[in-house]
């Protein structure tokens, strides 16, 4: 079954898949930039954190568009191999992930605004602050920024674990539906053997 741009009831569309993997990649790259820059000199740390903030603003934009697309796109139904309780838990985790990927960059924006003001985005333009300079509020937003990432990491681990469980243990299409590949509806069924013999119609020249 070839994938379209929009979801169907059986599988995710290309747009949803692109949003999904783009957001995960953006957040993981920002995490690496923040961790690596901790041990660098200010000359190197500054540019890396500028990139971190720029990617954060971009993540906020992509995550917001992802939610808008999800609201109006077709909802994918659960597979027959997924129990109802697992489907409900998955929907809850997905909802929390959508919320947390908004909180992470938004709290970062508040954090930077409360400490320094505007954010330089890729050296192209500046995003104005969304709050006044307030170090106490900035510290609170920094704490929320860090906490929300670790909540995201926990939810992501649960999400990945469930996907791998369905792929390797249950052996259904749960993981495949979020990949840009062709997904078969089902394996072809083998024909049942019968005891009846087929009558072979020989050509006339072989008949007496």
pLDDT in tens, 114-171: 998 999 999 999 999 999 999 999 999 999 999 999 999 999 999 999 999 999 999 9
CATH value at residue 47 = 1.20.950
pTM confidence score: 0.83
Into how many domains does the chain fold?
1
What average pLDDT does range 21-37 have in this prediction? 96
pLDDT at 48 over 50: yes
Asked if the model's pLDDT at residue 185 lies above 70, the reply is no
Rounded-to-integer distance, Cα 28 and Cα 10, Å: 29
The answer for residues whose C-beta is within 8 angstroms of residue 109's C-beta and 6 or more apart is: 56, 57, 60, 119, 127, 130
Residue 8 lies in a domain: no
Mean pLDDT of the chain: 88
Burial class (CB in 10 A: 0-12, 13-18, 19+), 208: exposed
Is position 120 within any domain?
A: yes
List the domain range (segments joined by +) for residue 170. 14-206
* 1 assigned to some structural domain: no
Q: Which tens digits make up the pLDDT trace of 75-114?
A: 999 898 899 999 999 999 999 999 999 999 999 999 999 9
In a domain, 3, yes or no: no
| Residue 170 in domain | yes
Q: Residue 4 domain-assigned?
A: no
The answer to whether 51 and 123 have CB atoms below 8 angstroms apart is no
- What is the average pLDDT across 49-70? 97
Phi, psi of 76 (to 5 degrees): -75, 130
Q: For position 190, what pLDDT does the model report?
A: 42
- Is 108 inside any structural domain? yes
Domain membership of residue 47 (yes or no) is yes
Cβ neighbour number for residue 111 with a 10 Å cutoff: 23
């Amino acid at each position: 079954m070839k994938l379209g741009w929009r979801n169907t009831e059986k599988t995710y569309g290309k747009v949803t898949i692109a949003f999904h993997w783009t957001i995960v990649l953006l957040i993981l790259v920002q995490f690496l930039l923040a961790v690596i820059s901790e041990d660098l000199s200010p000359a190197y740390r500054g540019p890396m954190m500028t990139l971190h903030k720029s990617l954060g603003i971009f993540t906020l934009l992509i995550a917001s568009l992802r939610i808008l697309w999800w609201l109006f796109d077709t909802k994918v139904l659960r597979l027959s191999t997924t129990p109802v309780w697992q489907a409900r838990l998955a929907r809850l985790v997905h909802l929390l992930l959508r919320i947390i990927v908004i909180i992470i960059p938004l709290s970062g924006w508040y954090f930077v605004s409360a400490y320094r003001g505007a954010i330089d985005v890729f050296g192209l333009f500046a995003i104005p602050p969304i709050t006044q300079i307030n170090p106490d509020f900035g510290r609170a937003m920094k704490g929320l920024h860090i906490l929300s990432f670790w909540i995201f990491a926990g939810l992501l681990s649960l999400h990945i674990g469930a996907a791998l469980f369905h792929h390797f243990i249950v052996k259904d299409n749960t993981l495949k539906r979020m990949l840009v590949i062709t997904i078969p509806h089902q394996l072809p069924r083998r024909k049942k053997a019968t005891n009846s013999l087929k009558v072979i119609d020989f050509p006339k020249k072989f008949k007496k």
